[in-house]
Structure 1
Amino acid sequence: MSISSTIEPSSYAEAFRHDCWIKAMQAELQALQSNDTWTLTLLPPHKTVIGCRWIYKIKYRADGSIERYKARLVAKGYTQMEGLDYLDTFSLVAKPTTVRLLLALAALNQWHL
């Protein structure tokens, strides 16, 4: 019954009307600050600001009751242009062969993992 009676807001204007979503947004901002996820800096010349938006989700327990209200602040990365806002992208990926090699070295040298 609780799943059908509550709705997730699709905008900040909708969420701002309810205390539960305000608390969820405050918790998200507090988490970002305590994890040193962001720092306010001056914008370099000839650069544009990347926007952000709030995403709202209701987390439910197995019995269908509401566990918590979750708000996430996400960057609108799709507004960036390659060569203007960034030069290249990469993600660190550990290949299985590299992991096996390191584990083999650790075993041979009796290193503590």
Structure 2
Amino acid sequence: MDVWVLVPIPDNISPLTLKWIFKNKHDEEQTVIRNKSRLVVRGWRQEEGLDFEESFSPVARMEAIRIFLAYA
């Protein structure tokens, strides 16, 4: 499954940075019942037509990362 290819970063371009977002889910009594997290990209440095043809959401859910790592 060749989904993507890693390429070296050009000298004049900085890579996109990532950030973890954490959120607590509460029940009716405001007791924490679940901790949720997601991985998001900081900033927007892509240009339509040059870097991509379709738009996408730069967010990875923790469940998706776990599944990916389980198959790795």
Q: TM-score under structure 1 normalisation?
A: 0.33
Bigger Rg over Cα? 1
Q: More helix by proportion, 1 or 2? A: 1
| TM-score, normalisation: structure 2 | 0.47
Higher strand share: 2
